[in-house]
Amino acid sequence: MRLVLLGPPGAGKGTQATVLSKEYNVIHVSTGDILREAVKNSTKAGNLAKSYMERGELVPDEIVTKIVAERISMEDAKKGFILDGFPRNRSQAEELEKNLKNLGMKLDMVLYFKTKERTSIGRLTGRRVCPKCELNYHVKNRPPKEDNVCDACATALVQRKDDKVETIKNRLKVYESQTKPLLDFYTDKRLLHEVSGDKDVNTLFADLKAIFGKKNIRPHD
């Protein structure tokens, strides 16, 4: 199972990648999560990425392609992986192809989470995250049991810096101009499969499992 999840900010890529990786026991590679961790730890890559992320711009390709190339060449990636938020432009997609070829691997499917703009904006403005264990909530759709407190570790929840309305608008623009053209790139390669990112979490999860069953997409031995 080697998947790419493609879609606008707030489409639910991270949410589905998390449950799918547990269900199929394959690794979840979120470039956004890896970069946020690097920013938190003030690593060289994190210090370079910080200002791009705060503006909602793409972090330079050489930083992210290196992160992904290293991650998918690790032993635990052999069974499969779910790439969430990568690739995000043509150059990253071409670099991924080269790296996969070197590893003797091929993608099974690119899932496009087609999502209405108002869905994305509603989800992102309402998203809250736990700064400690990184669990993800939504003020209306997935509220914590106690107001603004993480269910798992009782830490106060925070809003991501790039989830402010102005930055969300820029992220959506960047998606339209740089990432959306990948739909044609992967359609040409007969890898693209469209699903609705507007559906609720459990319905979409069930749809995805049905698609994998039908296409016989499963973890590698």
- The residue range among 71-79, 121-129, 185-193, 210-218 that interacts with ligand AP5, by the rule CB under 6 A, is 121-129
Q: Minimum distance from CB of 141 to ligand AP5 (Å)?
A: 4
Specify the DSSP element, H or E, that contains 182.
Answer: helix 182-188
Q: Minimum distance from CB of 146 to ligand AP5 (Å)?
A: 17
Task: Give the number of residues in contact with ligand AP5, rule: CB under 6 A.
Answer: 35
DSSP 77: G
d(CA 32, CA 69): 15
d(CA 219, CA 34): 23
Q: Which is nearer to ligand AP5, 40 or 220 (CB)?
A: 40
Q: Minimum distance from CB of 22 to ligand AP5 (Å)?
A: 14
CA distances from 65 to 83, 125, 167 (A): 12, 28, 23
Report the residue closest to ligand AP5, judged by CB: 32
Report the interhelical angle of 90-103 vs 61-72 (nearest 10°).
30
Q: Could you say which residues in the range 90-119 bind ligand AP5, by CB under 6 A?
A: 92
Residue 50 is a binding residue for ligand AP5 (CB under 6 A): no
What 3 state SS string does 107-170 have? CCEEEEEECCHHHHHHHHHHEEECCCCCCEEECCCECCCCCCECCCCCCECECCHHHCHHHHHH
> Active-site residue among 79, 160, 209, 218?
160
Measure the CA dihedral 167/124/155/58, to 10°.
-40
Question: Given candidates 56, 72, 93, 208, which one binds ligand AP5 under the rule CB under 6 A?
Answer: 56
- The residue range among 27-35, 102-110, 185-193, 211-219 that interacts with ligand AP5, by the rule CB under 6 A, is 27-35
Residue 182 is a binding residue for ligand AP5 (CB under 6 A): no
> Active-site residue among 2, 88, 123, 128?
88
Binding interface with ligand AP5 (CB under 6 A): 7, 9-15, 31-32, 35, 52-53, 56-59, 64, 85-86, 88, 92, 123-124, 127, 136, 138, 141-142, 162, 171, 199-201, 204
